[in-house]
Structure formats: C-alpha cells, structure tokens
C-alpha cells in the first residue's frame, strides 16, 4: 500500500522547486501556457455572491420560532373568528419582518466593496518579455515584477528583491513594513513573518523585485477572507435567544392545549367548544407585541448609541452589544496611537541623549532615497523640537539596501555635526574634513562597522569596552517591543562616499521607535472589566511587541498565545484556552476567525473591533462586529456597528446604552409572559368552576389592547444602574422561573377575586365580568410599575410617557365599567363597594409582587444573569 506525502508548506520550499512544480521559469510562462491556464484560474476567481435573492431574504425573516408562533396565533385567531386580533398580530409580524429585511439587504454589497479596489493591471513576463495584464488574467506560474506603490494581484514567492518592503497592514495588522527576500523560511514561521511570500491585496512600500505567482482568486490569503464573507452570517446571540424563547413558548402551548382539551372532554364539554377554548388560551400565551416592542427598543437604542458616535448598521446587534461578555480588539490605532513615533534618542547606556536627534535628522531628511516610516518619525520629532538643518547639505550618499541594512549620508555643514566638548578627541570623527558621514541602520549592522563608541560624559572609547552595555540596552528595549536603530558618524575627506567608507565609525547613540499606547487605554480596559467585559488583544505583531503592550495595558503578559501555538491547539481544547488568554499575537485572518468562534463556543457573547481586510472574517463571525469610519470597505461592510472615532471609551458608553435596550426588552418579555401564564391558568380554572364564561371574547380583546398600550412605552423606560453594571444575556431558565413564580401569584389573586365575587357578592354574569374586567386592567397596569425594576418600585423612577400611558389606561378602565359606555361590551355598572374592593385587591397584588420580587432577585443566579467575573472568564 502506498501513501501520498503531503507537499511541504509553500514558505519552506525553494523557488526552483516551486517554479518546477508550476511548469514555469524565472523568465515566466509562454503565452500559450498562460492562455491554457486562464480558464481554470478564472473558475477559482473570487466571485461576487452578494446578489442574494430578495424574496428568499424576505422570507427568511419569518422563519424564526417566535415569528412562526405569532403567525400560528394569527391563523388561530382568524379560525376563532377574532379577525381584529388576527389583523393586529399580522400587521406587527409583517412590519417587523420588513424592517429586518431592509437592514440586512444592505449587507449584500460586501463582496462588491472587496473587489472594487482590485481592478488593476500587473506587469508579468510572457515569452520572456514584460507584458501588462489585468489582475484577473494573472495565472499561477506567472512571473510578476513589483515596485514601490504596486498592489499585489496574487500570492507570490519572491525570486529576486532589491530593498523590497511589503506593507501588510491590511492583511496582518502590522504597523511596520516587512522586508521581503528570496529563500525558504522555517515551517513554524508566522504568516506575517514569511519573508519569501507576497500576499494578494497588500502593497509594496519600497524597493522592487520579481516573484512567481503561486495562488490566485479564492486560493490566496485574501481570497480566503472574501470566501468567509460569502458564507451565511451566523445568528447573533440575541437571535439565538429569541429562537430558544420561541421554542419554549411552543412547548408550553402544546402542553397547555392538550391538557385543557382533555380536562374539558372529561367534564363532558362539547368537542368543538373544548378545542376552540383550549386553542384560544394558547393564543393568549403569545407575547403579541414582542416584535413591535423589540423594534421600538432597537430604534430608540440606535438613536441613543448614535449620540455616543457609534452608527448602528444591524439593529439586532444592539441587544448583543449590551449582552457582550468579551471584547476582542486589534492593537494598532485602538489601544495605540497607530503611528510610528520616535520614542527617545539615547546613548548606548540607555540614558537620554537629546543632541543625537539633530544628527539623526540630517541622515533622515537629507537622503535622496525613499522615505520610510521611521525617517518620517525622526523628521517629525526634529521639527517638533524646533531643529532644522541649519544650512547643512548632503554631498554624498550610500543608499539603504537590505544586505547592509544601513543608510549613510555625507553632510557638509558650517556648524559642528556632533557638538561635544570632546570633539577634538574623537578619533576619525569630526575635525577639519570636508564632510561628516552620518550612518543610520540596524544595530548589529552599524556596530559591525564601528571601532569606537561614545560612553559616559561624552567620552569616546574603544567599542569593545562599551559593547556589552550596548547589547544589554538593545536586548532590554527589544523585550519591550521597541524598534532600535543605531547612529554612527565618521569624518570623510572625499564626499563621494561608498560602501567601503562604512568602517571605523564611532557609535554615538540609539534611536528607539514605538507605536505609543493611548493614555486612557489602560483605564478604559479596567472600566470594561469592571462592567463585566473581558478585553482581549488580537494582533499580527511579534511576541515581544505584544507582550510589552499587554503589560502597559493592564492585561496579563503571561496569558499570551502566538499564531503558531494556536495552530497546535485542537478545536475541543481551544474554547477554554481562548477564554483564559488575554493576548493573541502573530495572528492571521484565519486565526482571528478561529479565536472568535472558539470564544462563542465557550458561551460568550463576543464583540470584535477591527478595520482592516484581515479583520473582515472575525467581524462577521462575532456577535457584534465593530469597525471604524475610514476602515477598509470590506471591514466596514462586515461590521454591525461603525464608530465615527476610534475610542474604546466611547465604545463603552455606547455599550451601556445597548444594555439599557436589552434590559427593557427583557422587561416586556418577563412581564408579559408571566401575566399571560397567570391569565391562562385563571381562565382555565374559571371555565371549570363557573356556570358562565368569566369574560367574553370582545372583553378579552379590549383588555389586551388597553394593557398593551403602556407596554409600548417600555422602550423609553429608565433602567436601574445595577442592571447596567453587568452583561444581560438571554436566560431561559430565568424567564421560565419568572413566568411560573409571578404567573402563579397572579392566578392566586385572580382566584381570590373569583371567590369574593361569587361567595361574597353573589355576582351574576355581567357584574362578575365588569368587576374582573376592571381588576384585570388595574392589576396589569399597576404591576407594570412594580416589575419594571428589580428594586423597590418607589426607588426607581419610570419614564414620563410610561406614567402617562398607565394613567390613561386606568382612567379608560374606570370609564368603561362605571359609565353606560360599558354596555357596548355587555358590562353592567358594579356597586361602588365592589369597585373599592377590586382596587384594594389590585393594591394588595402589587404589594405581594414587591415582596415576592425581593425574594426572587435575592437568588444568586437571578441577580446578574450572564455576568462574568472582572478579569477571569475561563
């Protein structure tokens, strides 16, 4: 039996091997070979699948269990002859579905945005000659020429390079351009550090070179990102909760219909009447206004969140925003300022050396080559310090290259280049020569060409005496994630300098560069932790950089995983490992996506903040995808929320607004379902013990309409501060317990009212119905003010509109029962002493709810459903 060996990873193979496998050479493909490969290549192209069928998308809005329950309730209401109720439910369902359809329709342009920026041309070699071809005509095996500013059309392996640097920020999130050179790299090298590979969608920062195309379309790293965007978006945490809630109601309704139907048959009630009665009670269980309440809450929440500079693209994301337990974010520009800055000019001992800046600025500003980010940082620091060239001019230059890793500039100046008191003692440095060569570059490369160094008090000494201290300084800075360049000087007689002149130099100091942590970042992370949200950093930066940033941000620098380590963790183990990790570094887009999904499987509602192409899969996989204005188009389209300014503090305020929206939605669900359960139990018992119906169908409909009116104002209600202090998540056990506890309490008072009316007042049918009509409305309105807060009702101030609507409904209830208007509903006017008793029962009911509520919320599992600890979420 033979076994097929897996090919070695691409980055570990030689260019000759890859060219041979692709049937190519360093001079490229023939025109015939390229034409033959083109159909298969275009078949693997990234295609725009965003043109979803509109009717299918609209129909999808009505497939959730809660929507199906309400549609079933509509049909049953029609069957029972209650066309007004059926029409109301149907209108609410249709409006809710159309609103969701309108929100999701806009997401269908993600792929168009992704492809819009890639309609360009590339320089390939066909038949040994350069040829400009469209990006979609590039095939594997093509040899392409790239230079500064070019966008890469495909993934490619470097064949030759000269000062070639790739800006991979869009794909990997790295702040600094990455040097690209030919030659295989070790297998465990992170994607961001694979120096022999170029990636589609990134661009050349500097230099030029040639490369052989190894992957196009969906097979590229960029293509894998785009493929993830065409996949169906997973349901958000709130949508999953609504689904489970709908299934819970369905189960209860089925049990209820069967039990009540059987009981009525046992009591020898007519078969048809028994069936219709049990079905009508099942319809009564449905929270008919739920889609409308959710819609109102989300719309109000969107306006509130917009006031905190966050634009809501998907309304359902607001609920998940409030339920968020983990926030994953990139580092660059979110926790840091997103700019390379010169941290400090220092001597080799690590002590500040401000005079070094003027000398380094001559090298950075007078050079004639391509200005890189660190040159710009030096120039900006010099400008901020009020330094200029003072008439100095470049008279010679040895350009930077990646073999030497140096840049040397010969400078002529009337002013001393290195104004130290011991200048005359500096051997081969500054004197009467025609120019001074200022060299800047990688520490090891500069030191290799130096003979002396400036030590304590500016004294010039042999390099060997200072080298151990200099190495320790550089190692210490490297451990902090700081980039280090060395600066050296040398007196030259001939300004036409060459590489050979870069010897016998004097090391005068070090320049340190960093992307500074934002001043308020650590405090904001702590505030998120205090609010029950664990913040995790996901970055493409190297381990030392990420580790240092973690310490500065208050994250655990030991709780860190690299992309390579992630690759070695199985899917079963990853959720627990991801939950206990604060920092993920050296990550690819696939890693980010995997992390987000693992945290979701660990039971967390996950938010992800990012703005690059590399962030798009993670943004789509998260419960709450958060991007920023000015982000890559595909990232912004994949996100659910877009911030107008990249500030975690602003995001936290918007999150609290999301929690208030979620809390108000839960208020309606808990109060309505418990009231409905109570009413169903009461009606079922009354149908057995009373010689007449406790309420007529028209009376029940008017009660539902009146008591639903204040509920529409729940979206405007204030939320207790304690509820905003922790994530509020769907908890079906809590909802079930709430329904049973407060539903049974409601039934107890209903049954007590029945007994008073029949045994104490001997009420007939119309008087009984009038009294219970008034009692039903008053108890539901009054208990609304009790159950809307978890604390004592007198300590929590409801919204003004809620109070006004509650008072209006109570007044209408008295109007219908105490005036001849009630005759329209076949209600007789009850005696005033009976009215007084009903009011007393309603007040007693509210008092009982206050007492039971205090006990209910004292149970630990009910205090903060879904809340997590401050920092440990594993």
User: Would you state the structure tokens that stand for residue 95, as one six-digit string?
Assistant: 């409006």
Q: With CA atoms as reference, report the closest residue to 585 among 481, 482, 484.
A: 481
Residue 835 CB neighbour total at 10 angstroms:
18
291 burial via Cβ count (<10 Å: 0-12, 13-18, 19+): buried
Query: How many whole angstroms separate alpha carbon 733 and alpha carbon 737?
Result: 6
Please state at what angle helix 463-479 crosses helix 543-553, rounded to 10 degrees.
Answer: 60
Long-range contacts formed by 276-279: CB under 8 A, 24+ apart: 276/80, 277/687, 279/76, 279/79, 279/80
Residue 330 annotated to the active site: yes
Q: Strand pairing of 121-126 and 203-215?
A: unpaired
CA–CA gap between residue 629 and residue 692 (Å, rounded): 65
Separation between Cα atoms, residue 564 and residue 584, nearest integer Å? 10
Sheet of 606-609: strands edge to edge?
Answer: 310-312, 641-643, 624-628, 606-609, 326-329, 534-538, 583-585, 560-562
Please tell me the distance from the alpha carbon of residue 397 to that of residue 370, in angstroms, as a whole number: 13
Q: Which residues pair with 133 in a beta bridge?
A: 122
Q: In angstroms, rounded to a whole number, what is the distance separating the alpha carbons of residues 623 and 310?
A: 16
The separation between CA 126 and the C-alpha centre of its own chain, rounded to angstroms, equals 44
Q: Please, which contacts does 62-66 make with residues 24 or more away whose CB atoms are closer than 8 Å?
A: 62/93, 62/97, 64/239, 64/242, 64/243, 64/246, 65/242, 65/243, 65/245, 65/246, 65/247, 65/249, 65/250, 66/242, 66/243, 66/245, 66/246, 66/249, 66/290, 66/291
Strand 393-401 versus strand 143-147 pairing type: unpaired
SS3 288: coil
Of residues 150, 155, 167, 330, which has the active-site annotation? 330
- Distance from C-alpha of 709 to C-alpha of 714, rounded to nearest angstrom: 10
Note whether 620 and 229 are within 8 A (CB): yes
Give the pair of three-digit tokens for residue 8.
Answer: 């070695």
Chain centroid to Cα 654, Å, comes to 13
In angstroms, the CA 577 to CA 559 distance is: 10
Angle between helices 765-787 and 832-856 (to 10 degrees): 30
d(CA 160, CA 407): 21
Q: Which residues are catalytic?
A: 330
């Amino acid at each position: 039996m033979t076994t097929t060996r897996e090919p070695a990873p691409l980055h570990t193979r030689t260019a000759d091997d890859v060219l041979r496998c692709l049937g190519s050479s360093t001079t490229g493909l023939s025109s015939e070979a390229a034409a033959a490969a083109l159909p298969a290549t275009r078949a693997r192209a990234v295609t725009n699948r965003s043109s979803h069928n509109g009717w299918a998308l609209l129909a999808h809005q009505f497939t959730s269990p809660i929507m199906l329950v309400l549609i079933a309730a509509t049909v049953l209401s029609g069957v029972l002859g209650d066309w007004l109720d059926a029409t109301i439910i149907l209108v609410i369902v249709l409006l809710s579905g159309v609103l969701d359809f309108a929100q999701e329709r806009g997401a269908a342009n993600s792929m168009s945005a992704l492809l819009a920026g890639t309609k360009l041309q590339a320089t390939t070699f066909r038949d040994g000659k350069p040829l400009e071809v469209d990006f979609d005509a590039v095939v594997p095996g093509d040899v392409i020429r790239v230079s500064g500013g070019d966008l890469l059309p495909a993934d490619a392996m470097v064949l030759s390079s000269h000062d070639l640097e790739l800006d991979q920020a869009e794909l990997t999130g790295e702040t600094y351009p990455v040097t690209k050179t030919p030659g295989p790299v070790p297998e465990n090298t992170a994607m961001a550090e694979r120096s022999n590979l170029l990636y589609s969608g990134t661009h050349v920062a500097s230099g030029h070179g040639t490369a052989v195309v190894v992957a196009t379309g969906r097979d590229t790293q960029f293509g894998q990102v785009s493929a993830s965007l065409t996949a169906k978006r997973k349901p958000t945490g709130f949508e999953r909760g609504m689904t489970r809630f709908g299934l819970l109601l369905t189960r209860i309704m089925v049990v209820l219909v069967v039990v009540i139907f059987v009981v009525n048959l046992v009591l020898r009630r007519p078969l048809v009447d028994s069936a219709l009665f049990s079905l009508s009670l099942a319809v009564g269980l449905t929270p008919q206004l739920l889609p409308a309440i959710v819609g109102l809450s989300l719309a109000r929440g969107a306006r509130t969140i917009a006031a905190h500079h966050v634009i809501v693209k998907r309304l359902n994301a607001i609920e998940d925003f409030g339920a968020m337990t983990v926030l994953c974010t990139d580092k660059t520009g979110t926790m840091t300022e997103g700019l390379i800055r010169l941290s400090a000019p220092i001597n080799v001992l690590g002590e500040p050396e401000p005079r070094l800046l003027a000398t380094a600025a001559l090298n950075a500003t007078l050079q004639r080559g391509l200005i890189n980010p660190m040159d710009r940082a030096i120039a900006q620091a010099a400008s901020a310090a009020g330094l200029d060239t003072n008439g100095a001019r470049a008279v010679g230059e040895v350009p930077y290259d990646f073999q030497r890793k140096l840049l040397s500039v010969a400078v002529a100046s009337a002013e001393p280049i290195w104004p130290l008191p011991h200048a005359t003692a500096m051997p081969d440095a500054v004197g009467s020569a025609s120019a001074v060569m200022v060299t800047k570059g990688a520490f090891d490369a500069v030191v290799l060409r130096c003979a002396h160094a400036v030590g304590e008090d500016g004294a010039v000494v042999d390099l060997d005496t200072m080298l151990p201290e200099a190495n320790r300084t550089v190692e210490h800075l490297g451990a902090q994630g700081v980039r280090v360049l060395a600066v050296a000087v040398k007196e030259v007689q001939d300004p036409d300098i060459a590489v050979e002149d870069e010897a016998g130099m004097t090391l005068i100091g070090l320049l340190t560069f960093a992307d500074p942590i934002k001043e308020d970042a650590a405090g904001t992370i702590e505030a998120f932790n205090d609010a029950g949200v664990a913040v995790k950093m996901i970055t493409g930066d190297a381990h030392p950089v990420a580790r240092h940033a973690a310490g500065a941000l208050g994250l655990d620098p030991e709780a860190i995983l690299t992309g390579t380590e992630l690759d070695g963790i199985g899917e079963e183990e990853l959720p627990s490992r991801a939950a206990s990790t604060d920092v993920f570094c050296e990550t690819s887009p696939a890693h980010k996506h995997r992390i987000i999904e693992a945290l979701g499987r660990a039971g967390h509602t996950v938010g992800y903040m990012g703005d690059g192409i590399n962030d798009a899969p993670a943004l789509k996989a998260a419960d709450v995808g958060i991007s920023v204005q000015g982000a890559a188009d595909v990232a912004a389209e994949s996100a659910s929320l877009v911030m107008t300014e990249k500030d975690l503090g602003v995001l936290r305020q918007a999150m609290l607004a999301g929690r208030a929206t979620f809390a108000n939605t839960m208020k309606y669900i808990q109060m309505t379902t418990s009231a409905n359960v109570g009413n169903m139990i009461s009606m079922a018992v009354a149908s057995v013990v009373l010689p007449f119906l406790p309420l007529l169908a028209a009376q029940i409909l008017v009660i539902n309409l009146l008591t639903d009116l204040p509920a529409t104002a729940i979206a405007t209600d204030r939320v207790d501060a304690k509820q905003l202090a922790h994530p509020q998540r769907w908890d079906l056990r809590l909802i079930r317990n709430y329904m049973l506890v407060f539903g049974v309490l409601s039934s107890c008072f209903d049954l007590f009212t029945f007994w008073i009316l029949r045994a104490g007042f001997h009420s007939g049918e119309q008087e009984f119905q009038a009294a219970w009509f008034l009692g039903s409305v008053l108890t539901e309105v009054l208990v609304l003010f009790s159950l809307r807060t978890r604390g004592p009702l007198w300590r929590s101030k409801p919204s003004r509109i809620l109070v006004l609507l509650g008072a209006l409904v109570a007044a209408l209830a008295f109007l219908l029962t105490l005036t001849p208007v009630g005759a329209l509903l076949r209600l007789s006017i009850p005696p005033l002493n009976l009215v007084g008793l009903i009011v007393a029962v309603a007040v007693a009911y509210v008092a009982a709810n206050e007492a039971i509520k205090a006990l209910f919320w004292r149970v630990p599992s009910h205090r903060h459903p879904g809340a997590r600890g401050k920092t440990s979420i594993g």
